[in-house]
Amino acid sequence: MFLDISLKTGAASSGVLGLGPILTTLVGVVVAATLYEYWHRNSREYRMVSNIPSPPGLPLLGQAHLAAGLSNAEIMSVGMGYLNKYGETVKAWLGHVLLVFLTNPNDIELILSGHQHLTKAEEYRYFKPWFGDGLLISNGHHWRHHRKMIAPTFHQSILKSFVPTFVDHSKNVVARMDTEAGKSFDVHDYMSQTTVDILLSTAMGVKKLPEGNKSFEYAQAVVDMCDIIHKRQIKLLYRLDSIYKFTKLREKGDKMMNIILGMTSKVVKDRKENFQADTRAIIEEELTKPAATSPSAKKEGLRDDLDDIDENDVGAKRRLALLDAMVEMAKNPDIEWNEKDIIDEVNTIMFEGHDTTSAGSSFALCMMGIHKHIQERVFAEQKAIFGDNMQRDCTFADAMEMKYLERVILETLRLYPPVPLIARRLDHDLKLASGPYTVPKGTTVIVLQYCVHRRPDIYPNPTTFDPDNFLPERMANRHYYAFIPFSAGPRSCVGRKYAMLKLKVLLSTIVRNYIIHSTDTEADFKLQADIILKLENGFNISLEKRKYPTVA
């Protein structure tokens, strides 16, 4: 347009009104930006959310500049500061992308409970090269079909059969940590390798684990890849593929993806090669009892397909663990399932199933190291269960008796939820319950578990670590959606029962072998929320071997 005018006026060589070409371009950009900003501010979306509080923004950028130059730990603390200042429902514009942050359980219920808002937010697209169309990020028919096929592979009878494997790996990590006894060390390194190995040996049916420190290398690559994806989600420039592909970050991302995909494709290849009928079937005995791994009897609003699968199941059935079940499905012409589906779900579950529980177990160990009286109660419960034979292997029945340890795990997940937030894209306009707000279709709504778990109106002394927050009578009086470490509703965590059982076996084995110490306090924690909540300064503990009289 400007060029047209200047040509007609014969001023092309010197630009508009005799200005140089750079200035001409600049004026063009400013005019286009002003027009865009004018259009944006008059859009339906902008007007609809104008009454939702937000930190001050800039033209074009919105609030995007607030994250510029900050580390992940800084973003977390700055973000919390804004939420404290602006209230329980806050909006932010990342350029033209609208984000609405929710911390009121009534709003969260509107998002998570029904089938209306199941679509994952745009921000999950950065996982696509990794998870493909795996459960965590897929939508619509594809997600529904995969969920229906995969949820039964976490049936209680299968989880029960995993307990001896959980025990073997727990004993193994106890032995490996012996070299650290007396020293302060970052326990997350041990937890991440162990949780990778446990997943490989259970859900993936791997008989021979990768040699050397391949599991640790994979776990480290996952941490680095999450950091990259998180940067892409929140830094405006990295969001654009056209810019990201020329950055150093992408080079690093490609390297990490090679390690990750190399490991998972080998797992699938090996399992397919060694897929023998006699090693894969698990025949369950008759089963009619409710799942004992669930934190409490569920009220109607919190029930999900995992409860239904465990509770409405009668009679003997042949069941397979995850990877074996998927290999069989791919061979069955009547089931819509192919090789890519297998790889996508292996990648999804290898990630979701290990990084979450390694953070959860590391936080729980730190909590017990810091709150010694709580560790003593955990140990006393172990003593009551194991009696004079504290070194014997834990069974499924033992794990069901660990009520206090369960409360310690739940309280850890309250204060330090490994998945600190969930994001959905609204498929319909949504009237919120927390105020006179209507959020338009297409918005990214972000459910902040981390914040709802720390609301003082729901948890008196919200920052105090108190496992008794999960006494049945306290839980019964709380809003269903005020404790959602595993999300809730139809898209809740498919591995939550697996996770709780594994954490109990692992922590029970560690606590029976070591007294856990910590020199850090919770005030020293530098929380870092890059996809999975971690401590930037490490999960530092030290261990002291427990001594038992030798059995003659």
Cβ of residue 111: shortest distance to ligand HEM, in angstroms?
A: 10
Closer by beta carbon to ligand HEM, 439 or else 531? 531
Cβ of residue 416: shortest distance to ligand HEM, in angstroms?
A: 10
Q: Rule CB under 6 A: is residue 196 a binding residue for ligand HEM?
A: no
How many CA atoms within 13 Å lie on the side-chain side of 136?
25
Query: Does 493 show up as a binding residue in the annotation?
Result: yes
Q: Rule CB under 6 A: is residue 495 a binding residue for ligand HEM?
A: yes
Closer by beta carbon to ligand HEM, 83 or else 446? 446
Question: Residues 485, 505, 514, 531: which binds ligand HEM (CB under 6 A)?
Answer: 485
CA dist., res. 478 & res. 469, Å (int): 10
**DSSP notation for 290-316:** PPTTSSSPPPGGG--HHHHHHHT--S-
Helix (H) or strand (E) holding 534: strand 532-535
Question: Residues 353, 369, 440, 489: which binds ligand HEM (CB under 6 A)?
Answer: 353
CB 373 within 8 A of CB 445: no
Q: Rule CB under 6 A: is residue 486 a binding residue for ligand HEM?
A: yes
For residue 101, what are the β-bridge partners? Answer: 90, 446
Question: Residues 367, 494, 529, 543: which binds ligand HEM (CB under 6 A)?
Answer: 494
For residue 529, what are the β-bridge partners? Answer: 533
Judged by CB under 6 A, which stretch of 40-48, 235-243, 289-297, 481-489 contacts ligand HEM?
481-489
Cβ of residue 490: shortest distance to ligand HEM, in angstroms?
A: 8
CB 531 within 8 A of CB 389: no
Q: Is 183 exposed, middle or buried (0-12, 13-18, 19+ CB in 10 A)?
A: exposed
CB 406 within 8 A of CB 501: no
The closest of 504, 503, 357 to 417, measured between CA atoms, is: 357
* DSSP symbol at 55: -
Query: Which two structure tokens, joined as six digits, stand for 134?
Result: 């795996």
Cβ of residue 388: shortest distance to ligand HEM, in angstroms?
A: 32
Closer by beta carbon to ligand HEM, 416 or else 437? 416
Q: Rule CB under 6 A: is residue 103 a binding residue for ligand HEM?
A: no
CA dist., res. 56 & res. 50, Å (int): 12
Judged by CB under 6 A, which stretch of 167-175, 281-289, 346-354, 505-513 contacts ligand HEM?
346-354
The full length of the chain comes to 552
Cβ of residue 469: shortest distance to ligand HEM, in angstroms?
A: 17
Query: Which two structure tokens, joined as six digits, stand for 401?
Result: 């008796």
Return the SS3 of 184: coil
Binding mask 414-433 for ligand HEM (x = CB under 6 A): ----xx--x-----------
Closer by beta carbon to ligand HEM, 40 or else 147? 147
Closer by beta carbon to ligand HEM, 135 or else 206? 135
Cβ of residue 509: shortest distance to ligand HEM, in angstroms?
A: 17
Residues annotated in the binding site for heme, as ranges?
A: 493
Residues of this chain that interact with ligand HEM (CB under 6 A) are 135-136, 147, 203, 348-349, 352-353, 356-357, 360, 413, 418-419, 422, 485-487, 491, 493-495, 498-499
